[in-house]
Amino acid sequence: MYITIYKKHIIMGLIVLIIIFSLPFGYLFASKSSKTNWGLSFSKNGEPPTGNATSEFLKQYNSYYIGNTNEKKVYLTFDAGYEAGYTPKILETLKKHNVKATFFVVSNFLKTSPDLVNQIIADGHIIGNHTMTHPNMSKMSTMEDFKKEIEPMEQLYKDITGQDMQKFYRPPQGVYSEANLKMANELGYKTIFWSLAYVDWYKNKQPSKEEAFNKLLPRLHNGAIILLHNTSKTNSEILDELITKIKEQGYEFSTLDELTKE
């Protein structure tokens, strides 16, 4: 009896394995791709990190988390959910160093700070779409729902600036799904993640200058897309020295236009 049951288990196991390996590879990971939090793994300081999706996978949806790792170029981006009083100083520093950045803005920033929005544009920076309400976009399972967070931002931006918003999109908190990447691409957007960031967004728990530099500078790498927040007091205070130190290491600041051009 024992031997008979054992043989049955073997046969059933083989059948299951045959079924599994006959399925399309992507199907096996469908549940995993339904919701993903963007994450990075750094194996060695100064070397590009590994994302939880490869550049090749992201590229099929015109999505990016890093630039050309053979070039000493970096890309500076800011997430701007609201204005905390530090953006003017950030813009002043960027102008001083002739560095162009991308600001991914939420509707609150557009509505409450139209003068700053126009100054960002006048200074030659890019403004990208960070959604209307900063929700968990992986819950947007239909194009109709996805558009509700994207298209009103385009209209609001045009009402304020008289210009069309450039088609750069960053998922709030880096939460996304493969379906989201596809939707954004179908709307003409390039999805931009990041390859270098640190915890700078807690208003009442701002890192010190030393903590910020210890997190950012050792992990600097070729092609880095740097994520900072405009709401950080620390960022406004260290940006001048940070840019100087990055340039001293031989890096050139480039733009998302350059990164994503065909």
Residues with a known catalytic role: 79, 229
CA nearest 107: which of 144, 159, 63, 146? 159
How far, in Å, CA of 249 to CA of 115, rounded?
35
150 touches 189 (CB < 8 A):
yes
26 touches 35 (CB < 8 A):
no
Number of neighbouring beta carbons within 10 Å of residue 119: 15
How far, in Å, CA of 195 to CA of 116, rounded?
27
Q: At which residue do the structure tokens 């009083």 appear? A: 85
Distance, CA of 184 to chain centre: 13
The two three-digit tokens of residue 138, written as one number: 């992986």
Length of the chain: 262
